[in-house]
Structures are given as structure tokens and as C-alpha cells.
Structure 1
Amino acid sequence: MGSIQREQKRNRGCAQSKNGCIASSLATRNSSPCQPDVYFLDGKKMRYLGPDLPEDIWRHIHFLLPMQDAARLGCVSHSFLQSWRCYPSLTFTNKTMCSKENLRTVGWNVIRDYTHKIHCVLANHSGAGVRKFKLEYYAPCDAVSCHQLNSWLKMAVTPGIEELDFTLFSKEAPFDFPCKLLSDQSQDSIQHLRLFNCGLHPTFQLGFRRLKMLQLCTVRITDDELGCLLSNSFALEHLQLLHCDDIIHLEIPSLLQRLKFLEVFECSNLHVIENKAPNISRFRFGGYEEQLSLGESLKMKNMMLHHNCAISHAVENLPPCVPNLLSLTICSTCEKINVPVVSSKFLHLKFLSIQFFGGYFNRDYDYLFLVSYFDAAPSMEKFVLYVKRQCKYESFQGDPSSLRRMPDHCHKKLESVKITGFCPQKSMVELTCHILKNVRSLKSLTLDPSPVNNRCSGNILDNGCPPLETAYIREAHRTILAIRTYIEGEVPPTVTLSVLEPCARCHAL
């Protein structure tokens, strides 16, 4: 009795400790899951008299709890001990285990404590029944750590696992993910695989019969090795390759009939992307201007391009390749001075976003040439222009009659235009005036002189707007005066003009 009382006191203390604290004696308790719980209150022996539910109902309730609460309940309850040992969702992250610390900046003692907590949890879990396993590892990846990681992964990656998310933050000795774990019976159940900062070197074909999502970020994997992963992944729907610098020629095989989403971002040595999958509807690409062979892209609806001269590339090459495109986002860091004339049309395009992230070419860039996009997209309903930061430019202060005018053309579908980072550069004023005079369907025009894409709500609990230098804040106020001088008088009564002033909370002078 005394030992039980001591255990109850210790478990109550454990429940109030930091997230993830698991009693080390958890593995020694082997009570039947059907046995009623016994505890002591004021020195008296008490027995739980709650509803008499079937064991599978209690287990289901237990599995619905967050991992920390489920582990604590396994500590203080005989009835839930066995169900904890096959708890299906194990998540070991900075947030779940050490929410008050930033493990990327703290010292070794905190990281060692974090690692010890993970060891305690896994040592007292049977490994059976794991459906979801997420692990963030922060310790230096030496021989001891590699052995520890391999043992943890071996315990968790078992037949029946559906989601595996592994992140290694160490920048020291590289760690290669043990591919054999994926070649056993787990390949028949895994549906979501995400790996970050490790090597993946399969020497044989992996038959992921149910894999739907594959995300590889900063993973060392070659063209042929990636082919081993994709060759039998017939159920794959979502593929992301981020900073995978060993890939040179990316070929998406035609057997991936279910693939709907493809993202390739900053794979620095990539030269060719060759797509043969016929049903991709969303494509995101960031990096250098590459040779893109999209194959049959009749089902492509949503596309994002982020590379040098992306605007010119899109104008010259995209319309014939993606005739049914509905949404296009173009991010460019360096651009030709003028946009080439659009020879083909995006007949079905409804949303267009153009984002300038470089500052050096903005001074001379002729924004009025963007009008050609309106002609090329007769079905466009919303246009967004974002200019991150301007280098020094010549502010227009002349006679409004000197502003250039493009040939009159009635745009019948465009209803909403937003320009973030608006400035009184002459060509940008000309673009805005053209929109007001020629877009008869326009309902709203929003001009934001602050070069920030995300504003706070003004709520004191909000994190606030991105920081902005004082010079840009002053320039934003000068821009508002220019809008009143050159723009407001051109606004027809059917259009709502919204001019966003710098945030009074975050960007006050």
C-alpha cells in the first residue's frame, strides 16, 4: 500500500511537470487494462466508479488525447497503461517536448534533456500500433547519435505506419536514413513520407503501394535513387523536392497517373525537368531558369514560377503549354527592362499575381508594359502586383497630360486590382491610370505604398507587421500625396479606391 501511495504522489507531480515528462517506471507496470483503478484520497483507499465501458471504447478515448496527456494518463491509470503502450501518434518536436525553449539556440544541457525525454517515451512504448511518427532531432550527429536514431526509427517504423516525418537539425556529420526500414512491410502502409536534412540512398526499388505524399527537403538523393522511389509509387498525389542539390535531371514518369501537385524549389544543380505525368494540376517551381518540359499539361490549373526573368519566360513560352491555366503567380528577382509582346493568349486565366523581389531593375522597369497581360488574359478577374522594395527612382511630378496612354481596349472581366509597394514612378502611375480608364468591369482598386505583403490586424495580440525601415515609411506617406494628386481624380464612380496608409501600430514615425 505504501508503495502505491508513493507512486500516486509521484505521478501527480509528473502530471504537473514539463510537457513530455514520462515516468521511468512506466515499463514495469503490467496491470490488466480491464482492472478498475485504485487510488488513495486522505489516506483512504478509493476505487474508480465511473461508467463501465468496453475496453475498446476506453482505448479509443485514450487515443484521441494529445500525446502528453495520453502519456500522463498511462502513468496514473492502470486501465490506460496497456493502451498507452500502443498509442498510435508519437510526435517529438520542440513544441511538444520543450515548448518554453528554442532548441536551435539553447545549450547542450537542454538538448540532452530533450533527447532523454524522447528515450523515456520510446523505451516505455511497445512500438506496436504506431500510425504516425514525427521526430525532430537536434543533437550533433556523431556515432552515438546515429546509433540512437537508428534504434528509435527501427522501433517506430513498423508494419502499419502511415505517416513518417523526420527532421535532423544537425549540421555536422551526415546521417543516412535507413532505407531497409522502408523496404519491409511498412512500404505497404506508409502514405506520407517527409524527410529533412539527411541522405536517402535506396539500392533497390521500393514499392510504396499506398504512398500519397512525398516531401524531400535538403535530402541527398541522386536522379537514379529518386527513380527507385518513384518507379512503384503508383498512388502518389503530392511530390515536393526542396534544396535537393544532387538531382540533375528530374524525370516524372508517366506511371504517376494520380500525381496532382509538383513542387521543385532551389535544387541548385538541376538542369532539366521532364514531366510525363498527365494529370498534374498544380506546379510550383523556384530556382534558376531551367529547361521545362511539361509534357501534356492540359489539366494544369495553378502554376507558380520563381526565377530570374520569370515574367519574360512566362509570356514567351507558357500559353501554348498550359492552355487551361486558371491561376498564375510569377515571382521575379531580375527581369528584362520591357516585357515582350504577348503572341498567345491565356484564354481561361482568372487570377494573375506578379511579384518583383529584386530592387536593382525596378528603377528602369516599365510597368505600363504589363498591360499586355490584360490583353493576353481576356477572362482575368483579379490582378495583383507586388513590388517588394524600390531602389532610388525618379518620382513623377510633371503635368498629368504628359503621361503615356496605351491604345484604348475594353477589358470586360477584370474586377479587382491590388498594387502593393505602389510608388509614384511614372510608369506605375501610367499603369494605374490605364486600368482606371480602360477596365470597364473594375469594381475595386487597392493601392498600398508599404512594401509589405502581410499586414497585422491591429489587434494587440497579433504578432505585428514585418519590420520596415524609416525611409520606406516616409516614402509611403509621400506616395499617398501623389495618389491624391494623380490617381484619385481618375477614379470613376463605379470603382472603390482603397489607399492603405502605413500601419499606425507597427510603422508609426
Structure 2
Amino acid sequence: MSKRKRNLKDKQDGPLVKKRRSRLWLSNLPMDILQSIVSRLPIRQAVRTSILSKHWKCVWCYRTNLEFSFKSLVLKKGSRIPRSHISEYVFIQRVNSVLMQHSGIGVEKLKVEFSPLHDEHSEHIDRWVQFAISSKTKQLIFDFEYQCPTKEPYGFPFQLFDASSGSHLEYMKLGSISLKHPTNISVLLNLKKLELENVNTTDLELKQMLFNCSVLEFIGVSCCKMLTCVETPRLLKHFKHLHVSHCPLLQGIVLHFGLVTLEYEGPLMPLAPPSTLRNLSIKSSDISSALAYMFTELPSTLSGLETLTLKSEELKRANLPNTPLRFVYLKHVILELNFVSLGVRADVLDLACLLEAAPIMENLEVHMLMDDRLGRYRKFQGELRSLPSHPHSHLMMVNITGFFGQKAQVELALHILRNSAILKAMKIDPKPSVVGVGVDLEMNGLCFLDGYKVAKKYLRRADHHGVVDIIKVRRSQVENVIPSLLIDPLWLAMLAKDE
């Protein structure tokens, strides 16, 4: 269209009017959406939104998740202020300020995590408990990481609860707190999950507490230095899961009918699990052979076991019975094994007996820490051993970590690969995902590269269905690199906690 024709058309249609696009301001969103957005911010940033405008002043005040810690209240991005430089009174002042401004309505979760707090601050902490009660909090977490042995730990005020206020609490975690004489624990009518860590409580007090919480489903007890015995509630029909770890004076665990899952970590002690137990996790430095423990020390009452996790140091070779068929319902096996001594005759290939011992096993995880000085498999070490064929018709998933390519490791992986009729995936990771207490992590990082090369050479050749997934390791990743940096940091954090 020519310029003259366009001008003529403009005159006929009238002058052009530019239409303004309406702008969508964040403040125009519905209040429930704004509150949802602010709830995803750390508490310190959420409170700061109140200075934006009058409209924003009260948005954060209906936040349902209140978490107070050094990181959320004090630490700024890029700041290097150590926690020890922050006075507990500064922390208390900031918590009090937030709670005073909050609406006190509909708080789902109240979490306070700060190590210097103890009994001298009970006046303030009691007010936080009262806030939780009045706001009908469902999840209450007080973890003070007690680090002052000369100070008396904070005593939890059960006396503040009554039958109506205690009925709202569903989950409670207490750390570094005293629970002496919990006379009013019976008012926590809907408490489903209870976690106690480094808590001062006696056997009788704990038993009384558990007996009176009628709908409890989960109990976690860890690092409680006064406990000598943990007994599961006898009359609680909902109770299914018990976790006990690192209680130094513990001498016994009394288990009653109804328990489904037991997790225990610490010195080995006799267990008599009920026949209802389906999931068992035992992590103990007292176990010198995982297979020997499975076949000779696990109670006969575990005939219905479906999931088994064992963590041990392999210090000897197991003398297995001639007919190891035992775990007829076992579906998932997780082994965290530490082969660290050159003088030990433990044989990784012995683990192949699990194919016969657990005929309906569907998932097998073998996490190994090997001595890297043994080196990768080479032909001068002799031909690879092969065991009699034992086809397995249920195993679908296999995960092997810490595969350094040592001879017995190759033999085990090949045996599983050849005998698993419906195997869908076998993951081979040369990097270990499990470490043991006192283990030197300054191993030669090239052992990870060796594991990758050996797996690629021998397992890929035997993989006729494309199920083997080998995690690739390059020389540039491991050469001149501290091997511990290549290990899953989650496992390293767990090791530091154990030590």
C-alpha cells in the first residue's frame, strides 16, 4: 500500500490511538497467593517485605511456617560471621520480635534451632511454647544442640499443655532438652511422631511418655545418654516405626507385637523382634561379617522380613550353612560393607549366595569400600572364577558402588548379571558412597578410573540386554584430586556425625 493511500485510510478511520497495556503488579495478586510466595522465603527476608508498602505490611504475618536458626535470622549472603560471635540474647530478641508481629493464626510449623540456648533462657522459650499452643501449631521443633556442659539444659514445660491445647500437636522433635517428670504428656492426644536427640530422660520417663501418646506412629531416640533400655509401647495399635541410635548406656531394646520397621545404630545387642517386623536396619561396628550375621545371628522370628539393611566392617569370611535358603519374603537388600584390611580373607564373591538365600529379591544394593592397594583385576591374577548357575527370576534392580575393578568384585557382578533372568538395570559406580569410621580417605583416586575401565571391559562384554549403566570416570576428574572430594558429601557428613 502506497504512502498516499495509507494517509487517506487514516483520515477515513480517524486518528490512531495507542492502547496502553495494563500492567500486572505483584501486589494485585490475591492475598493467599502472596502469602504462599512469601512463605517460601527465609523468615528474615519474609519480614523485610513489610517495608514495601502498607499492602505488604501484614502479608508475612500469616506465614504458616516459622523457622528460626542462625542461618535464617542472622547469616547474610556472603557474610562470614561465625555463630559463636552471635549472642544468644540477640537471637532471642529477633525471635521475640517476629512472634510479636505475627498474627498467631494457623502456624503449621514452629522450629527453633540455636545451640547456646539452655535453662537460663527458659522465660523466653516458655513464651515460644505458649505461642505454639495458642497458634495451634502442628509441628514443634526445639533443637538447641547443647554445647555447654556446665549449664542446665532447658526443661520442656509439659505443664503448659492441657487436653484441648495439646490435641493440635502432631509432630514434636526435641534436641538437647531435659524431659524430667513429663506428668502431663497424656494431653498430647494426636502426637503421631516423636523425635528425641541428646535428651535427658530416664527409662521410666520415656516409657511413661510413650504409653500415654495413644496415636504414636514413629519414635526416634538418638544420643540419649541416660537411657539403658528402650521399650516399645505394648498397647499402641498405630505404632509401627522405631529408630534408636548412639545411646551409649543402652543395654536392651524390648520390642512388642505390631512393630513394622526397626532402625538401630550402635553396639550390637540381642534383639527379639516380633513376627510383624518387615523392615530392619542394623548398623554396627560389632558386626564382623554381614553374611555371618544374616545367617547365624538374626532371630528366627524374622521370617516375614521384606527389607534388610546391614552396615558392617568385613573382618572375616563367613562360614555359611550348606542350605542358606532362609529369607523367603525378602525383596530389598542393602549392604554397606567396609573391606579395609589387606590381612582379611573376606571374599566379595561370597555375596552371590544372596541369589539363593532370597528367592524373590527384587532390589540389591551393595555399597563397598575397598582397599585400593589391592589394585584392579589383571589376567596374571588368574582366570575369573564362576559359580554354579543359579537363575533368579525376580531380581530387577542392582546398584553396586565402590567398584574399584578388583577380581572378586568383577566375579560377583558377572554372576549376578548372568543369573538374573529379568534384570532391568545394573548400576556400577566406581566411587564409593559409604565410608567407615577411622578409614583413611586419602586413597589413590586412580582406583576409580580403574573400576570404570574394568567394568567397561568385562561387564559390557557380558551385557546382552543393555542393562548395565557404568558411571563414567575420566582421568582429569581423579588425577591430582583428593579422592574424598569425589565421594558423595552426604555420606561424608554422616561419617563426621558418627565420629
- Shorter-chain TM range is 0.7 to 0.9
Which one of the candidate residues 407, 426, 434 is aligned to 1:426? 407
1:459 corresponds to which residue?
A: none
The alignment status of 1:499 with 2:470, answered yes or no, reads: yes
Q: Which runs of 5+ in 2 are unaligned?
A: 1-26, 481-499
TM-score, normalised to structure 1, is 0.74
2:12 corresponds to which residue?
A: none
The alignment status of 1:180 with 2:152, answered yes or no, reads: no
Determine helix, strand or coil for the equivalent of 2:198.
Answer: strand
The amino acid that maps onto 1:175 is P
1:393 corresponds to which residue?
A: 374
Q: Distance in 1 between matches of 2:81 and 2:365?
A: 37
Q: In 2, are the aligned partners of 1:179 and 1:201 still within 8 Å (CA)?
A: no
1:91 corresponds to which residue?
A: 67
The alignment status of 1:406 with 2:406, answered yes or no, reads: no
Q: Distance in 2 between matches of 1:334 and 1:401?
A: 24
Which one of the candidate residues 320, 323, 339 is aligned to 1:340? 320
Which one of the candidate residues 311, 326, 341 is aligned to 2:306? 326
Which one of the candidate residues 75, 83, 100 is aligned to 1:106? 83
Q: In 2, are the aligned partners of 1:337 and 1:361 still within 8 Å (CA)?
A: no
The amino acid that maps onto 2:432 is P
Determine helix, strand or coil for the equivalent of 1:478.
Answer: helix
TM-score, normalised to structure 2, is 0.75
**CA offset at residue 138 of structure 1?**
3.6
* Structure-2 change in CA distance of 1:339 and 1:70 (3 Å): same
User: Once structures 1 and 2 are overlaid, which stretch shifts more, 266-275 or 149-158?
Assistant: 149-158
* Structure-2 change in CA distance of 1:129 and 1:287 (3 Å): same
The amino acid that maps onto 1:352 is V
Q: Distance in 2 between matches of 1:287 and 1:393?
A: 30
Q: Distance in 1 between matches of 2:456 and 2:50?
A: 67
What is the CA deviation profile of residues 283-333 of structure 1, one whole-angstrom value per residue up to 9, with x for unaligned ones? 221111112121232xx3333221132543233344742333332222113
Aligned length: 439
**CA offset at residue 195 of structure 1?**
0.6
Q: In 1, are the aligned partners of 2:242 and 2:262 still within 8 Å (CA)?
A: yes
1:44 corresponds to which residue?
A: none
The alignment status of 1:378 with 2:359, answered yes or no, reads: yes
**CA offset at residue 155 of structure 1?**
3.9
Which one of the candidate residues 132, 145, 153 is aligned to 1:169? 145
**CA offset at residue 376 of structure 1?**
0.9
* Structure-2 change in CA distance of 1:71 and 1:63 (3 Å): farther
2:9 corresponds to which residue?
A: none
The amino acid that maps onto 2:155 is F
* Structure-2 change in CA distance of 1:61 and 1:421 (3 Å): closer
1:269 corresponds to which residue?
A: 249
Q: Distance in 1 between matches of 2:49 and 2:450?
A: 61
Q: In 2, are the aligned partners of 1:140 and 1:171 still within 8 Å (CA)?
A: no
Q: Distance in 1 between matches of 2:479 and 2:396?
A: 32
**CA offset at residue 408 of structure 1?**
2.5
What is the CA deviation profile of residues 445-497 of structure 1, one whole-angstrom value per residue up to 9, with x for unaligned ones? 3332222469xxxxxxxxxxxxx9674321222334444565554x0423533
**CA offset at residue 86 of structure 1?**
7.2
Q: Distance in 2 between matches of 1:170 and 1:146?
A: 14
Q: Distance in 1 between matches of 2:94 and 2:434?
A: 40
Match runs of 1:281-360 below 5 Å: 281-297=260-276, 300-307=277-284, 308-309=286-287, 310-318=290-298, 320-338=300-318, 340-341=320-321, 343-357=324-338, 359-360=340-341
Which one of the candidate residues 86, 96, 101 is aligned to 1:119? 96
2:449 corresponds to which residue?
A: 477
Q: In 1, are the aligned partners of 2:316 and 2:344 still within 8 Å (CA)?
A: no
**CA offset at residue 382 of structure 1?**
2.4
Q: In 2, are the aligned partners of 1:59 and 1:80 still within 8 Å (CA)?
A: no
What is the CA deviation profile of residues 177-202 of structure 1, one whole-angstrom value per residue up to 9, with x for unaligned ones? 33334543432221111011122112
The alignment status of 1:450 with 2:431, answered yes or no, reads: yes
* Structure-2 change in CA distance of 1:181 and 1:63 (3 Å): farther
Match runs of 1:251-270 below 5 Å: 251-270=231-250
* Structure-2 change in CA distance of 1:501 and 1:84 (3 Å): closer
* Structure-2 change in CA distance of 1:315 and 1:179 (3 Å): farther
Match runs of 1:127-138 below 5 Å: 130-138=107-115
Q: Distance in 2 between matches of 1:79 and 1:401?
A: 78
Q: Distance in 2 between matches of 1:506 and 1:261?
A: 41
What is the CA deviation profile of residues 247-294 of structure 1, one whole-angstrom value per residue up to 9, with x for unaligned ones? 21111022121122221122222121111141x333221111112121
**CA offset at residue 241 of structure 1?**
1.1
Q: Distance in 2 between matches of 1:399 and 1:70?
A: 66
* Structure-2 change in CA distance of 1:362 and 1:203 (3 Å): farther
Q: Distance in 2 between matches of 1:417 and 1:344?
A: 20
The amino acid that maps onto 1:450 is K
Q: Distance in 1 between matches of 2:441 and 2:298?
A: 37
Q: Distance in 2 between matches of 1:410 and 1:72?
A: 64
Q: In 1, are the aligned partners of 2:159 and 2:183 still within 8 Å (CA)?
A: no
**CA offset at residue 136 of structure 1?**
1.5
The alignment status of 1:197 with 2:168, answered yes or no, reads: no
Q: Distance in 1 between matches of 2:173 and 2:463?
A: 52
The amino acid that maps onto 2:201 is I
The alignment status of 1:416 with 2:388, answered yes or no, reads: no
What is the CA deviation profile of residues 86-118 of structure 1, one whole-angstrom value per residue up to 9, with x for unaligned ones? 765432123432342789933424765433211
Q: Distance in 2 between matches of 1:203 and 1:492?
A: 61
**CA offset at residue 217 of structure 1?**
1.2
The amino acid that maps onto 1:476 is F
Q: Distance in 1 between matches of 2:201 and 2:123?
A: 22
Q: In 1, are the aligned partners of 2:340 and 2:370 still within 8 Å (CA)?
A: yes
Q: Distance in 1 between matches of 2:80 and 2:375?
A: 47
**CA offset at residue 76 of structure 1?**
7.0
Q: In 1, are the aligned partners of 2:132 and 2:140 still within 8 Å (CA)?
A: no
Q: Distance in 1 between matches of 2:51 and 2:456?
A: 68
Determine helix, strand or coil for the equivalent of 2:212.
Answer: coil
What is the CA deviation profile of residues 201-240 of structure 1, one whole-angstrom value per residue up to 9, with x for unaligned ones? 1252521210011011111211111112111211111211
